[in-house]
Chains A and B, each alone.
Chain A
Amino acid sequence: MTYVRIVWAHLAKDLRLEWRSKDAINGMLFFSLLVVVLFSFAFDPTMAVSRQISGGILWVALLFASVTALNQTWTRELRHQVLDAQRMAPSPASALFLSKVLANFLFVSMIQIVLGPLFIVFYNLRAIGQGWLMLLVLPLGTLALVVNGTFFAALSLRTRNREMLLPLILFPVSVPALLAMVQSTTAILTGESDPGLWIRMLGGYDVIFLTLCLLLFETILGAE
């Protein structure tokens, strides 16, 4: 019970901060919107082509957008030595990590709620496969992005050019997740293949890396 309450305290603080400033959401939203528009200009897709490529565009846009927000998520803890206070606090470090993951998950999900309809409009999409499966793919994919993203943002927090470093270490590790997200989304949109394998893989990826991050986060937080 106490663990849940600690997570909730962290999460409520992050949500309140975001509610007042709306930095992360505004930045991510406009950024991903720009990526969608830019890709549309770059490829000028017809309806059949857009069904093939829009899965990839959606996830690449979300990946880039989430990096901009993830860079901010820990920086705000640096001011007034808040992070040092967190490190000294007796509460488990993984609770802090979990709450940050949940907060980022909520932010990116909100982006998807806005971006999804825009995508359908701009790319004239209509799922030929089972469209409701997207309700499974979107949260699982988002979780895969933000779990590793939040962890690597904390890892690169005290490095030189950390804004640069985060994508450099996040993207290579995220390749299997990105592959699974894009393949399952394309399979759902085109209806040509079964997305089941990729959704299961995405779930497995989430479980493995969430466990790993929760186990190793204390090491990262305490690294001197």
Chain B
Amino acid sequence: MKKTLLIGLPISLALLAMGFYQAMYVAPTEATMGNIQRIFYYHFPSAIMALLFPYVNFAASLVFLATRRSNPLRAQAADALALASAEMTLIFCSIGLATGMLWARPVWGIWWTWDERLTSFLMLWLIYVSYLLLRRFTAGGQTQTLAAVLSVFAAIDVPIVYMSIRWWRTQHPSPVIGGGPNSGLDPSMWPAVWWNLAGWFVWGVMLVILRYKLERKRQWTEQESALQALEASLETAR
């Protein structure tokens, strides 16, 4: 864990400092929104990270379900990764929602609107809250299996949510990346986006690794104490 911190912390802090400098001082002020648009450099990376880590969670859950009988050791590692990435999803999702609201208030004049991307993002948040609640409410070995199953449900549900809300209504601006003409960013804004994206990515990955290692330690301690209890019972039986 120390090694992760020693490598990850300086890199991510340096990248984030550079990102802050780019976003606050180098990037030009947006023509219509003014300085408030600078929150975009934090909103966008958080949203991207919140869309990235659910895939890690889903993949790790699938590995867990596939290997929980044949290779329990690998399954345990996969479950630790699933837990770590689920918590990271929730954090980035919360930041994305909060910064989005702060941005929407001055620009749209409202804190919240039930539009396609906002609502599906909120649903993602809700589903991962319920995922972590399930993990908290269950005990013993079944936690991991049940959570992995719920993760599969989440992965299938989120695209359906997105499509259904898309048919329902929409207000969020069309995609900045790969959107239609006139939807792109000014080229001078790109460095700030990239630096922040890189910085938050390294930061997120570092936290996932730390959380993963913490969970592995917890699993190890749990197995160790179970083993000791087993040995003690063998002693008394003899």
Question: Which residues in chain B, 118-154, are within 8 Å of chain A measured between CB atoms?
Answer: 123, 126-127, 129-130, 133-134, 137-142, 145-146, 149-150, 152-154
Indicate if the CB atoms of B142 and A172 lie closer than 8 Å: no
B150-A169 in contact (CB<8A): yes
Compute how far the CA of A164 lies from the CA of B65 in the bound complex, rounded to whole angstroms.
26
**Cβ contact of B149, chosen from A208, A209, A219, cutoff 8 A:** A219
- Quick one: CB contact mask for B47-76 with A, threshold 8 Å, 1 for yes? 000000000000000000100000000000
Q: Does A160 interact with chain B (Cβ within 8 Å)?
A: yes
Bound-complex Cα distance A209 to B150 (A): 12
A-chain residues with CB within 8 Å of residue B153 when the two chains form the complex: 148, 173, 212
Determine if A120 is an interface residue (Cβ-Cβ < 8 Å).
Answer: no
A201 closest partner in B (C-beta): B164
Partner of A176, one of B65, B133, B150, B161: B161
Q: Is the interface of A mostly helix, strand, loop or mixed?
A: helix
| Separation of A158 and B126 alpha carbons in the complex (Å) | 22
Tell me if B's interface is mostly helix, strand, loop or mixed.
Answer: helix
- A173 and B134: CB pair below 8 A? no
Given contacts A156-B134, A161-B137, A172-B127, contact A223 B161 (CB under 8 A): no
Contacting residues of chain A (144-187) with chain B, CB-CB under 8 angstroms: 148, 155-156, 158-162, 164-165, 168-169, 171-173, 175-176, 179-180, 183
Known: A165-B134, A165-B137. A172 touches B164 (CB 8 A): no
Min Cβ gap A81→B in Å is 16
In angstroms, Cα B226 to Cα A79, docked, is 29
Known: A172-B127, A173-B154. A165 touches B149 (CB 8 A): no
Which B residues from 134 to 180 make CB contacts under 8 A with A?
134, 137-142, 145-146, 149-150, 152-154, 156-157, 160-161, 163-165, 167-168
Q: Once the chains bind, are B149 and A160 in contact (CB under 8 Å)?
A: no
**Chain A residues with CB under 8 A of B145:** 219-220, 223
Q: B157 near A160 (CB under 8 angstroms)?
A: no
- Whether the pair B168, A179 counts as a contact (CB closer than 8 A) is yes
Instruction: Answer yes or no: A123 CB below 8 A from chain B CBs.
Output: no
Asked whether B160 lies within 8 Å of A220 as measured between CB atoms, the reply is no
Is the CB–CB distance between B138 and A158 below 8 Å? yes
| Neighbouring B residues of A180 by C-beta, 8 Å | 164
Given A165-B133, A197-B167, A219-B149, A212-B156 contact (CB < 8 Å) = yes
- A220-B133 contact given A158-B138, A173-B153, CB 8 Å threshold: no
Q: Could you say which of B129, B130, B149, B167 contacts A220, with CB atoms under 8 Å apart?
A: B149
Q: Does A224 contact B (CB under 8 A)?
A: yes
Closest chain A residue to B153, Cβ basis? A173
Cβ A159 vs Cβ B161 within 8 A: no
Interface residues of A, Cβ cutoff 8 Å to B: 148, 155-156, 158-162, 164-165, 168-169, 171-173, 175-176, 179-180, 183, 197-198, 201, 205, 208-209, 212, 216, 219-220, 223-224
